[in-house]
Amino acid sequence: MYKAVTRGIRVTVEPRYLPEESQPDKGKFFFAYTVEITNMSTERVQLRSRHWRIVDGTGSLQEVRGAGVVGQQPVLGPGETFTYTSGCPLTTPDGTMEGTYTMVGASGQEFEAAIPAFSLDSPHAKRVVH
């Protein structure tokens, strides 16, 4: 599990490889990740948008931006948690993801909450020890 905390917003991510959705012989590797966002601050916040940086095993970067997550823009009061699961297809057996959520506090001030960098690893990835 990967974790980051920004201004009292804790983001944890648990990725996993989905062999049933993948076709390694065709260069299709599918990963799911479950994100838990917990408001540990004393202020109500809303998740407005997301920005992902996805890097595949060859170093190719894809950036994804959009409103909310899984079609929602959740509002979290102090101590509340929002959890969702999404997925990411890659053409390589491994890669990484990281990003930010744009949050808005009760005062209307926006800030970026970090999504920790995490590894996408399938059993088909070649391991190299340096």
The 10 Å Cβ neighbour count of residue 130 is: 2
CATH at 89 = 2.60.40.1470
Per-residue model confidence (pLDDT) at position 129? 60
Strand partners, 36: 12, 83
Residue type for 103, please? Answer: M
Q: Is residue 127 part of a domain?
A: no
- Total domain count for the chain? 1
3-state secondary structure of 71: coil
Range of the domain at 49: 2-121
pLDDT in single tens digits along all 130 residues of the chain: 999 999 999 999 999 999 999 999 999 999 999 999 999 999 999 999 999 999 999 999 999 999 999 999 999 999 999 999 999 999 999 999 999 999 999 889 999 999 999 999 998 877 666 5
Residue 26 phi/psi, 5-degree rounding, is -110, 10
Q: Is residue 42 part of a domain?
A: yes
Q: For residue 123, what is the DSSP state? A: T
pTM of the model: 0.92
Q: Is residue 49 part of a domain?
A: yes
Q: Is residue 126 part of a domain?
A: no
Q: Is residue 8 part of a domain?
A: yes
Residue type for 43, please? Answer: E
Per-residue model confidence (pLDDT) at position 123? 85
